[in-house]
A and B are shown apart, each in its own frame.
Chain A
Amino acid sequence: MIEDELVKKYNLRPPGYGGTSRDAAVIFKLASQLKPEIQSLSLANNNLTGTLLIRDKKEISMIVPRKDKMIHLRELVLTGNPIRELAYKNGAGATYRADMVRRFTSLEVLDQEPITQISFDAPQPSTSHVPVEKPTATVFPFEMGPSFVTGVDGAIVSKFLTRFFNAFDSQRDLLMGAYDSAATFSFSANTSIPARARVVGFHSSPAMPNQRKLDWKTWLETGSRNLIRIGGDPQKTLGNLHIGGEQIVKVLGNLPPTRHDIGGPPEKFCLDSFPVPHGQSMGLLLTIHGEFTEVSSGGIRSFDRTFMLVPAPEGSRAKLNGWDVAILSDQWIIRGYSSHEAWKPGPLLVQATSQQSQPAPGAAQPFSITNLPADQQAALASLPEAQRNLVIEVCGRTGLNAKFAVDCLTGNAWDLERAIANFNQVKSSLSRDAFL
C-alpha cells in the first residue's frame, strides 16, 4: 500500500507505517471512490510494523460506514489484524467471518477463503459504457394504470383477499389454514415521513384527526424486519422471520388490531398480480397496496403486502379449510399514510406545470373538487365519498376552504342545510383565511 500513487500523493501514512485511523479512513474513502472501483483490498500484515490497522468492529464501522459499502469489493484480506487474529484465538472465527460477510455484501473471498453466496450478472465495475442523456420531459412516458391482474381468475384473487383481511381484522388465528406448513411471514416498518403527504399536510388534516396519536413503538418492538435497520443483527434477522402457520398466527396475534376496509371504496386499494415460475410449476405473485386503521388510536396507515401463492394442494390444511390458494410467503410493509390518489389512473407528471396554478379555461362550470387547490383536494381524498361531496358543496356555496368546510359540517352533524345556515350566522366574524 505504501507504494500506491494515491497514498504518496496525499502524503498518507498507511497502516504499519505509524498511520492513525484517521489516515486509514481517508485511504478507505479514496479507495471507495477510485475508478475503476477497487475489487481487491489486502490489509494483511506483510512487512507491517507499529500500529496495525483494524482492531475491532468499531474501527471497521468508523472507516467503512455501512452506507458507503464498497459495492464492488470482491476480496478482502485482514490476516494479521487483531480483529481477525483475536477472534480466531478466542474460538470466534465463524462469528468474525459472518460479521465481515454481512458488512461487505459484494465480498466473494475473505482471507483467501471463498464465501457461500448468490451472485448476479451485475453491471461490471467502472463505467466502460457511454453515459446516456436522460429524457427531460415533464410528463412520464407511461400513465399510471389501474390494478393489473392477469393469468388468474380475478374472482379467486378477490375471494382470497376478502377472506384474508376480514379474518386478519377480526380473528387472526382463523388464518392458520391459509398458510403452507413451510410458509414464511415477516413485517417491516418504513418509518420515513412520505414527502408528498407532508407537503399536502395530512398529518394535521382536520379530516384525519387521529394521525397525531400514531407512533411506531409497537411495530418496532414486536419484530419489524426492516433489513435496512436490523440487517446487521443476525438474531433479529432470523428471529423476525416466522415460519409455518402455527408460528405465524401466534405472531399475528401480537400485532396491533387493524381495520382494512376491504369491502369499501375499491379505489383505496391497488393490486398487481401475475403468475410466476415456482420450482417446476407455477405460483401467483400478488401485491396489494392500501390503507388500514389502527384500531387503538383510530389513526390511518398505508401498507404494501406481497403474497406468493400456490394452488392449495389436495388434502392440505388450506384445502380442507376451503382456501383455493395457500400462502407460501407473506411480506407486509407498514408505512406512514399517503393518499390513494398516488395510484389514480391517468397521466403522471414529473414536475408541476405552470397551468396548474391558473384557473381552468372555459365558461363557468358547476363547482367541483377540481376548483380546490391541490393540497385541499388531497386532504379530502381520505374522506368517504358522501362526505367529500358535502364538503365540495359547502365550498361551492359559501366560498369556505376545505378545512373550514369540514369543520362547519362536523359541527353540524354533516347536515348540509344546517351547516349552510350556521355559516350564514357566523360568516361576518370569519377571518380571510377561512375562505378559498
Chain B
Amino acid sequence: MSLIKAEGITKQYLLGNQTVDALRGISFDINQGEFIAIMGPSGSGKSTLMNIIGCLDTPTQGKYFLNQQEVSTFKGDELAKIRNKEIGFVFQTFHLLARNTALDNVMLPLKYAGFDKAKQMKRAKSVLLQVGLESRMEHQPSELSGGQQQRVAIARALVNKPSILFADEPTGNLDSQTGNEVIKLFKDLHDQGQTIILITHENEIASIAQRTIFIKDGLIESDTQNK
C-alpha cells in the first residue's frame, strides 16, 4: 500500500471574479520511505500542491489519501490533527517562534498533541540531540545561526514522528555550505527510513532525491526516478 495516493486533484481559486486553475488533475503515489523532490517554475501550481499534500488545504476535486485515510474530505480541526500527527513541516524562512527557546519551539507540536510536559521535554531533547543541537537548546532563534535555526525547525518537524517530512525550499535562505549540511541531514534521515518530500527549484538539490516530480501549468510534466 502506498503512503500517499493522489487521484485527479484539481484546485481552483477565485481571483476577483476570475477562476484560476492552479492544479488541473494531478495523480501520483508515494511509498513509505521514498525521498521525492517536487520541482517547477513559480506559478506552476507547486505551492498549491504542497498545501494539499501537507493538509494545509483541500482539493476542489479529486481524492487524496494519506495512510489510507481520505484526507480530502477532512475539515478544520480534523486536518489540524493530521498535520500534527502525520506531517512535519520545514519552511524556507524557518518559522521559529522568536521569543521561545529552541527547546520550546521543538516542544510545540507535542503540546498541541496533548503530551504531558515531561514527555514533551524528553522527546524534544532527544530530537535536538539527533540534529546536533544539544548544546543550544536554551537559546532563542536570534542567538542561533541560520543553519542552526533550520536544524531546530527540522527537529520540530521530526519530534512527533511524522509519516512525511515536508520541506519547502529548506536551503533557500542558507549559504551553500550550511545548505549542504542541511541536505546531508535530510539524506541521513532518509537513510533511517524517513519519507521526505522536498520542494525546490534547484536541480542540484533535487538530484539527491530518489525521484523527481516536475510540475508545470498545474499538471505533472514528468515523474522520473533518479539514478
A and B bind: no
B residues with CB within 8 A of A:
none
A residues with CB within 8 A of B:
none
